[in-house]
């Protein structure tokens, strides 16, 4: 009945996934003090791989110490961590799942208590996540240093045995801070506000702007992708995660995101992961009838680039609906925290035993996730 969820998928002739199920990247706040993966975290990832998920995204892993954003966040910023990365890749690969390292820089959401330096960002604009320090604007040299750190981190992932990498371009972190007119107020080639006065006067949409500012705001992501591609060679899969739109009317739209993705495909990405809290829901309401951001992106990109959909997908029927929309892969986040055995429950027809909610705080303590992560899920999985 749910056979399509278990059909293999080839990514750009580089890798074949055993099925369409992806574990969404989820920060566990459980790393070691030096940024290595803890054994609890490896067991947690390994358990979902063993259960039959096709592709496991690791939690966001910072590529440069200036990007360290969460307590006990895992890192991939030094060669000393290659052993830790190799243990993580092996914990996933040994069960036949594909392992992707999610590479991250927090930008204005980084915290000096972890990084020992003020946060760095395209412009001195505080994180929209709130509660963070005001960042300092990056110099040109620092921008190139961070681009290089993404490339080096990707090289480490490949050396460690990961099947691919995901660049964390979503959820308001550094890539998005460069692309967003809200957080990028630069006047050099790395930025530019929404559109120039002439474009605004003629009501030209950002993605059709004649002032080149969308191109400038895309430059950071493009340079990272080029640097990563040159580091890992032509055959290594690169996925780019993106938030498809920003809620504010002056933020970027899905049309703008599509322009960026088309450029990144030219530069070497193989796959796109459309980040969303609720699949199928948009916030802008400027989509063609019957569409939504993830479908718009799928429809606009070449067919050979697989697209991952995500967001509040809990049942196999909901997952099937995503595939029926033409989306290639379905990522599951919180439902895999509640159900480490989601894939085998679906395969064996025990779908009624899929846990949808948490009944009590006591039950939270029984989740098969690293213990510090249980506390961390209080906001994202409330007791109901
Ligand atoms: C505890 C938690 C940690 C998360 N950490 C990350 C992360 O490290 N990187 C990322 O791109 N998204 C992260 N997310 C977002 C998820 O990948 C996913 O997009 C979101 O949870 C929606 O999917 P879901 O409804 O299936 O959980 C996190 C979400 C949760 C709940």
User: Active site residue: 173, 236, 240, 376, which one?
Assistant: 173
User: 249: which DSSP letter?
Assistant: T
* Distance between CA atoms of residues 68 and 291, nearest Å: 36
Per-residue pLDDT band for 241 (boundaries 50, 70, 90) equals very high
Instruction: Give ∠ CA 384-56-281 in degrees, rounded to 5.
Output: 50
The pLDDT score that the predictor gives to residue 200 is 53
The pLDDT score that the predictor gives to residue 198 is 56
Q: Which residues line ligand 1 (CB under 6 A)?
A: 24-27, 59-60, 102, 168, 170-171, 241, 275, 277, 310-313, 332-335, 376-377, 380
170: left (phi over 0), alpha (psi -120 to 50) or beta: beta
The pLDDT score that the predictor gives to residue 201 is 55
Q: How far is the CA of 334 from the centre of ligand 1 (A)?
A: 7
- Would you say residue 209 has pLDDT above 60? no
190: left (phi over 0), alpha (psi -120 to 50) or beta: alpha
Which atom from ligand 1 is nearest to the alpha carbon of 334? Answer: 27
Q: How far is the CA of 64 from the centre of ligand 1 (A)?
A: 21
On whether the CB atoms of residues 118 and 100 are closer than 8 A, the answer is: no
Nearest CA to ligand 1 atom 25: 312
Which pTM was predicted?
0.96
The CA–CA distances, whole Å, from 226 to 11, 17, 205 equal 19, 25, 27
- Would you say residue 197 has pLDDT above 60? no
Which CATH number does 3-376 carry? Answer: 3.20.20.70
* Distance between CA atoms of residues 211 and 202, nearest Å: 12
Quick: pLDDT tens for 160-185.
999 999 999 999 999 999 999 889 99
Average pLDDT, whole number, for the chain? Answer: 93
> Which residue(s) pair with 136 in the sheet?
120
What is the average per-residue pLDDT within 85-89? 98
């Amino acid at each position: 009945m749910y056979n399509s969820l278990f059909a293999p998928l080839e990514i750009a002739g580089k890798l074949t996934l055993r099925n369409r199920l992806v574990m969404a990247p989820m920060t566990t706040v459980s790393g070691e003090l030096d940024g290595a993966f803890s054994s609890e975290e490896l067991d947690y990832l390994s358990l979902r791989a063993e259960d039959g998920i096709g592709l496991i995204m690791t939690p966001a892993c910072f590529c440069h110490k200036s990007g360290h954003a969460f307590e006990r966040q895992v890192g991939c910023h030094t060669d000393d961590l290659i052993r830790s990365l190799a243990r993580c890749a092996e914990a996933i690969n040994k069960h036949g799942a594909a392992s992707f390292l999610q590479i991250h820089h927090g930008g204005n959401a980084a915290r000096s208590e972890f990084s020992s330096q003020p946060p760095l960002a395209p412009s001195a604009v505080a994180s929209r996540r709130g509660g963070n320090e005001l960042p300092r604007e990056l110099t040109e040299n620092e921008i190139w240093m961070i681009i290089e750190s993404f490339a080096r981190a990707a090289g480490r992932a490949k050396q460690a045995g990961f099947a691919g990498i995901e660049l964390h371009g979503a959820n308001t972190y550094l890539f998005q801070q460069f692309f967003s007119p809200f957080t990028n107020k630069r006047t050099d080639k790395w930025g530019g506000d929404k559109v120039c006065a002439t474009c605004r006067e003629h009501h030209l949409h950002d993605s059709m702007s004649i002032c080149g500012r969308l191109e400038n705001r895309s430059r950071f992501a493009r340079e990272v992708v080029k640097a990563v591609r040159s580091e890992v060679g032509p055959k290594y899969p690169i996925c780019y995660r993106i938030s498809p739109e920003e809620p504010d009317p002056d933020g970027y739209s899905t049309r703008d995101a599509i322009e960026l993705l088309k450029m990144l495909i030219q530069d070497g990405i193989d796959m796109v992961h459309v980040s969303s809290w609720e699949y199928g829901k948009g916030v802008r309401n400027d989509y063609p009838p019957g569409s939504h951001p993830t479908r718009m992106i799928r429809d606009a990109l070449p067919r050979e680039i697989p697209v991952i959909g995500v967001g509040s997908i809990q049942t196999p029927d909901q997952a099937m609906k995503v595939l029926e929309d033409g989306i290639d892969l379905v990522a599951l986040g919180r439902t895999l925290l509640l159900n480490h055995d989601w894939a085998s429950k679906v395969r064996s027809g025990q779908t009624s035993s899929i846990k949808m909610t948490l009944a009590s705080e006591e039950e939270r303590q029984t989740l098969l996730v690293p213990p510090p992560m249980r506390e961390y899920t209080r906001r994202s999985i409330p007791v109901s």
